[in-house]
Amino acid sequence: MEDELPTEARALIVLNPLAGQAAALQQNVQAARAVWLAHGWSVDVKMTGSPGDGARLAREAAALGYDVVAAAGGDGTINEVVNGLAGTHTALAALPIGTVNVWARELGFPLEPRAAAEALLRARVRRIDLGRANDRYFLLMAGIGFDAAVVNEVRSDEKRRLGALAYALRAFDLAWRYRGRRARISLDGRVVRGRVLLVVIGNSQLYGGIFKITARACIDDGMLDVCVIKGESLASAPLRMLSILRQRYNLDPRIEYHRARVVRVEARGALPVQVDGDQAGVTPMTFAVVPGALRALLPSTLPADDLLRNGLPQRRRMWQRAIAWAIRRMTSRTSPLHAERSSDQTLRPVEDSTVHT
């Protein structure tokens, strides 16, 4: 179900001054604010100073009746804001100034704050699901194993200095020595066992801003998509990734794809966990979907038509309209009514054309 924001909406921008390129783009955040002010919105800006501030500021804004809280930062900042907005009537928006900005890419919003602010004026409010890792909500995904180990090794100063390259360098370094661990994964009571390299539990589709590991996920279907990648080492990782990129999960015996409402991961020795790109502890851990827990601003069209269960209205391109017109013409010419008008041939009895199921 979609809603529209009030014409004179109240918005709070939660700005993380240390996120990604934030130091260079704070003036652009002010430019984004100016876009909303010119549209008649009331817009305040507050900065985070320490971990947890984003959630606290978002929670306070919701209690004060703000219509929108815009996270100005990366996906970690968005995650904090989400943890403050879950279960409230206040909607999430994102002004991307982080390292990767996966959520903005997932929705197809511009990656420049002013342009994103203009696009958000045309967005609609829609209620979507969240995942929860123990007591922490996540918007995008949770990763258990290799990717969480990479997140643990990337330092904050490396992220600010190198951006996404910091993750790539750490991943390359860790890949040579990382080994899979025996794990037990319970999915709504069904059990998967094996030596696991990586488990991705997705609420959405896009992973790392580049490709889709949980490519069948919807953000409003009341389910989590789970991709389990097994193996002894990452030597065969290119083959695994090729299968994932082709979305041919069933052809690779080392990959399992499941959907579940509750997922429990245990392992021999603790496996690191990350949610939305930030450290979140170690296994054992329980993950669950929380249907309709968040109101979020979504664009009128999405890069992936299947990101929503029922989809948003899509404006068809000219070639799509032309094909639809041609199909209608062909159908009308071959319909019984058309045949009756164009010739003397007799219509078939209704019972002969009935399909029995």
Helix (H, G, I), strand (E, B) or coil at 167: helix
Q: How far is CA 88 from the centre of its chain?
A: 20
Cβ neighbours around 262 below 10 Å, total: 14
**pLDDT of 70 over the 90 cut:** yes
Q: Are residues 117 and 183 in the same domain?
A: no
Statement to judge: residues 254 and 188 lie in one domain: yes
Reported as type and span, the H/E element at residue 85 is: helix 75-85
Residues 206 and 113 in one domain: no
The mean per-residue pLDDT over the stretch 323-346 comes to 47
Q: Are residues 73 and 43 in the same domain?
A: yes
Question: CB-based burial of residue 122 (10 Å sphere; 0-12 exposed, 13-18 middle, 19+ buried)?
Answer: exposed
pLDDT tens, 228-248? 999 888 776 666 666 666 556
Helix (H, G, I), strand (E, B) or coil at 107: helix
User: Same structural domain for residues 147 and 249?
Assistant: yes
**Domain, as residue range, for 80:** 2-122
Where a domain ends, among 266, 290, 314?
Answer: 290
pLDDT digits (tens, 9 = 90+) for 186-228: 999 999 999 999 999 999 999 887 788 999 999 999 999 999 9
Query: 219 lies in a domain?
Result: yes
pLDDT average, residue stretch 33-41: 97
Q: Report angle CA 100, 255, 258 to the nearest 5 degrees.
A: 80
Please tell me the distance from the alpha carbon of residue 150 to that of residue 274, in angstroms, as a whole number: 10
pLDDT band at 352 (very low <50, low <70, confident <90, very high): very low
221 close to 237: Cβ distance less than 8 angstroms: no
86 belongs to a structural domain: yes
Percentage, residues of the chain above pLDDT 90: 58
Predicted local distance difference test score (pLDDT) of residue 336: 44
pTM: 0.82
Residues 47 and 70 sit within 8 Å (Cβ to Cβ): no
- Smallest CA-to-CA distance from 264 within 142, 165, 159 is with 142
Q: Are residues 159 and 262 in the same domain?
A: yes
Same domain, residue pair 174 and 269: yes
CATH number at residue 19: 3.40.50.10330
Cα gap 65→91, rounded to integer Å: 11
Average pLDDT, the chain: 83
- Average the pLDDT over 87-100 and give the result: 92
Residue 43 lies in a domain: yes
The set of residues, in sequence order, having a beta carbon less than 8 Å from that of 136 and lying 6+ positions away, is: 83, 275, 280
On the question of pLDDT at 185 being above 70, the answer is yes
Beta strands in the chain (DSSP E): 2-3, 10-15, 42-47, 68-73, 91-96, 124-133, 136-138, 141-145, 181-187, 190-202, 206-207, 211-212, 224-230, 255-260, 262-267, 272-275, 278-282, 285-298
Mean pLDDT of 282-302: 96
Q: Are residues 66 and 163 in the same domain?
A: no
- Show which of 91, 122, 153 is a domain's final residue: 122
Q: What's the pLDDT at 311?
A: 59
Is the domain of 115 the same as that of 152?
A: no
Nearest-angstrom CA–CA distance, 264 and 267:
10
Asked if the structure places residue 305 within a domain, the reply is no
1-24 per-position pLDDT tens digit: 668 888 899 999 999 887 655 556
Q: What CATH code is carried by the domain that includes residue 227?
A: 2.60.200.40
Which of the residue ranges 158-167, 218-227, 334-343 would you say has the lowest mean pLDDT? 334-343
Query: Could you tell me if 107 and 143 lie in one domain?
Result: no
- Number of independent structural domains in the chain: 2
Contacts for 182 with CB less than 8 Å, ≥ 6 apart? 193, 194, 195, 196, 267, 268
